Amino acid sequence: MTFRKVFRRHRRAALCVCACLLSGGCAVEGLGDVGGVSAELAARTGRGLGDATTGETTWPPGVSPADGLSEDELVALALWNNASFRESLADLGLSRADLAQAGMLPNPTVWTLFPGGVKPFELMLRYPVEAFWLRPARMEIAEQEVERTIQRLVQNGLDLIRDMRVACAELASARERAELAATMAKLAQDTAELTRARLRAGDATELETASAQADARQAKEQQDRLRSEADIAGERLRSLAGLAREHWPTKIIVDPLSSAAPGDPEALVRDALAARPDLRAAELGVEAAGRRLGLARVETFTVTGIFSAKDVNQQTVSGPGLDIALPIFNQNQGGTAQGQARLEKAARFYVTVRDRIMLDVREAAVRFVLAKQSHDQWRSGVLPLLSNAAQRAGRAYADGHVTLLFVLDAQRKLADARFKAIGAAADLRRARAELERSIGHSLSTPSRIQNART
């Protein structure tokens, strides 16, 4: 009896087996694409991802370097083109591949002996039946890993947005410092020239003249250094935005400082625990580890389905059977122990991430409050006083009551205060960016997270 005759006799059973195999070999389509990451980021920050291809710069709709780039436009460019972030998105494809692999059923094996002489024809079809009830658990684990990858990539996107806003603050601060340094360098040069004139008139000493000249040279060195730091800050921002090979506009528009208070720190902590994607990823890791532990216990039992056919006295004798492994000695103790250890590690990691988030939020909230207080003191307290003193010194000089050196000294004190005020503004921008990253969404879009969750 040939294999074809055996197949014809048991065609219905063979077709049923093939249908089961084909129906079980397909993974869930559309799960874990980049759209999920984009939707999460858009709900949290108002900016999603684009379809940038490898090695090409893609401009989001409405973004053009012709009229300069705003801070929000730079954030959108970074999400679309940042090389490191786009590289991390490839992990999503790996997770989807694991999901597809988890949905595949193993191939059957065929064992046959061809007839020869007195030896009859024999055929045996073997298939691991346990794959049918293990497949759903494996697919659930793989789906959780896909979702975990999505949450991790969303956190990477939030980190990138934080880095972009901090880089924007650094660039704005560096440019303001460079402009102010030019003003201070001119004041120092005017002071040195005035001191030399006083020396010729006999009103100053050689020591005063040398000190003024040294101050002028230091101011010039600071001006050159801060100009270089501004160029470096611009290049760093350019690289983060993914525009290393594109035209870089000189006009960068930084968002105005927000004076809104962040709110109660404990309320922010609760908000962060509900919204942070890395905590959700850690939670999914615990669930996946628990499922792996259950799977390791079930994998102890292996059942192989058998279909045998052979010729006996010119007749085909066929029938099904089972090959069951008895878990007497090997009960997968090692796999179960590994699953238990992974579950414990995942649970401890969840606690670590939760505690770190609480620390991040509380620390960021305190830093934001301190930065806001410092900024308000400089802008509303110190600068107006020194500006008023410089104006009064100018009027007094016009009336002939003070010397020009006194006026220049008042202007230099005002310039020094402006330096510190610029630093306070940059600290406030950095603190706000860090606070938004720590709570997992923009301070202006808290309600969108709840909508995305539901």
pLDDT per position as a tens digit, 47-71:
888 775 666 788 888 888 888 888 8
What's the predicted TM-score (pTM) here? Answer: 0.83
Query: Under DSSP, is residue 304 helix (H, G, I), strand (E, B) or coil?
Result: strand
Between 51-60, 75-84, 188-197, 334-343, the lowest mean confidence (pLDDT) is in 51-60
Distance in angstroms (rounded) separating the CA atoms of residues 227 and 183: 13
pLDDT of 445 > 80? The answer is no
pLDDT per position as a tens digit, 285-327:
999 999 988 888 888 888 888 888 887 777 778 888 888 888 8
pLDDT of 106 > 60? The answer is yes
Distance in angstroms (rounded) separating the CA atoms of residues 425 and 373: 11
Distance in angstroms (rounded) separating the CA atoms of residues 235 and 314: 85
pLDDT per position as a tens digit, 366-408:
999 999 999 999 988 899 999 999 889 888 877 778 777 787 7
Res 447: pLDDT: 44
Q: φ and ψ at 104, to 5 degrees?
A: -80, 140
pLDDT per position as a tens digit, 243-258:
888 788 878 888 777 7
pLDDT of 173 > 60? The answer is yes
Res 303: pLDDT: 87
Q: φ and ψ at 360, to 5 degrees?
A: -60, -45
pLDDT of 25 > 50? The answer is no
Tell me the domain boundaries of the chain. 3-24+75-453
Assess contact for 23 and 17: CB atoms under 8 A.
no
pLDDT per position as a tens digit, 380-390:
889 999 999 98
The arrangement of secondary structure in 3-24+75-453, i.e. its CATH architecture, is Up-down Bundle (1.20)
